[in-house]
Amino acid sequence: MNWPEFEQAQPLAAKVLTSSIQKNRVAHAYLFEGEHGTGKRAASMLVAQSLFCSDIQNHGVPCEQCSNCKRIKNGNHPDVHIVEPEGLSIKIDQIRSLRAEFNKTGLESKKKFYIIVDAEKMTISAANSLLKFLEEPHLQTTAILLTEQPQRILPTIISRCQIVSFKSLPTKVMTEKLIEMGIHPTKAPLLSAVTNQIQEALHLEQDDWFARARNIVLKLYEVLKQSPLYAMTALQSEWNGHFKERAQMEIGLDLLLFIYKDILYIQLGKEEQLIYPDQRKKFEADAFRISAGRLSEQMTAILEAKQMLHANINPQLLMEQLMLKLQEGASFV
Ligand SMILES: [Zn+2]
């Protein structure tokens, strides 16, 4: 995402940030809140770029060409730090080492910048440590906290941040926009289910990895209906090699979840909401066979597997267990 794309996707958030950058009144701490896929992380990187850019354009827009902009984009600028959950949480040691880092002066300038991803995952002690840090006035230090769940962040932290809300585009509107832009109507709903950013959707549409992911997931679902043993084989021959990293696994599990959602939509008579409209015939047959109760168990099992991804669990084992849970009882309904 570049700055013009950010302005287009999140006009309000972009306006707030542009105006404080232009007036040189950037807050010490921001809280970017909004649903998954609304571009919070990409926007926080753009703000970092506009603060460090050595060739700033009009309206505080970063050039994206200078060495500072490039290093920020590549994640190797010495004065820009990103803290992310390790396992299930952000731990006090992570905040402590951040504070230690910031007690040194800026390596290249006096400015320092840090981003805390999934800030609601800070442990209580980590949050309290961050709170002390926010209370100490550090000139030219900017913090951006990102969260999908602001209600889970300590109010004392929130009160020290300027809140910037990222709005999600309703799925239906997003799908319509994509179709207008030339995306095939059978593909647009899945893209809007995966991301809330037009640019990312357009990119995914061209992405071979994503196209294969979709096929692997649909095939796995078919095989799973026959036998869990076949599903295990499919995991080994295709899934494990394709969904290697955690972020990829998350997409894979989402794609699987959407199948069960579609079956539910059919049961509820909401066919217009189908995420895989081209699979409708097959799913209709399944919607007859599976009870609503069983369907909800299967969806819960997938959501639980997604949660477990963040704990240090062997992903292959996780998938094998999921296959058994999804299969279990399916032939008896
Ligand atoms: Zn620049």
pLDDT at 332: 41
Q: Summarize pLDDT for 10-38 with one digit per residue, the tens.
A: 999 999 999 999 888 899 999 999 988 88
Q: Summarize pLDDT for 217-227 with one digit per residue, the tens.
A: 999 999 998 88
Q: Cα of 123 to ligand 1 centre, how many Å?
A: 35
What region does 291 belong to: left with phi over 0, alpha with psi -120 to 50, or beta? beta
- Residue 331 banded pLDDT, cuts 50, 70, 90: very low
- Is the sign of the CA dihedral 29, 84, 203, 2 positive or negative? positive
Q: Cα of 60 to ligand 1 centre, how many Å?
A: 10
Q: Which of 54-63, 130-139, 213-222, 267-276 has the lowest mean pLDDT?
A: 130-139
Q: Are 243 and 251 in contact (CB under 8 A)?
A: yes
pLDDT at 288: 92
Q: Please compute the mean of the pLDDT values over residues 77-88 and round it to a whole number.
A: 91
pLDDT at 37: 80
- Residue 313 banded pLDDT, cuts 50, 70, 90: confident
Residue 120: both structure tokens together: 């609601």
Q: Cα of 94 to ligand 1 centre, how many Å?
A: 29
Q: Please compute the mean of the pLDDT values over residues 211-239 and round it to a whole number.
A: 92
pLDDT at 103: 75
Q: Cα of 130 to ligand 1 centre, how many Å?
A: 29
pTM for the full predicted model? 0.69
The shares of helix, strand and coil residues in the chain, as percent rounded to the nearest 5, are 60, 10, 30
Q: Summarize pLDDT for 158-171 with one digit per residue, the tens.
A: 999 999 999 988 88
Residue 126: both structure tokens together: 């980590």
Q: Cα of 43 to ligand 1 centre, how many Å?
A: 15
Q: Cα of 24 to ligand 1 centre, how many Å?
A: 17
Half-sphere exposure of 309 (CA within 13 A, CB side): 21
Q: Cα of 257 to ligand 1 centre, how many Å?
A: 41
Q: Summarize pLDDT for 170-193 with one digit per residue, the tens.
A: 888 899 999 999 999 999 999 999
Residue 76: both structure tokens together: 């190797």
Q: Please compute the mean of the pLDDT values over residues 112-120 and round it to a whole number.
A: 95
Closest CA to 41 of 70, 11, 83: 83
Mean pLDDT of the chain: 91
pLDDT at 250: 92
- Tell me: pLDDT of 328 over 80: no
pLDDT at 59: 78
pLDDT at 172: 87
- Tell me: pLDDT of 7 over 50: yes
pLDDT at 333: 37
Q: Cα of 56 to ligand 1 centre, how many Å?
A: 6
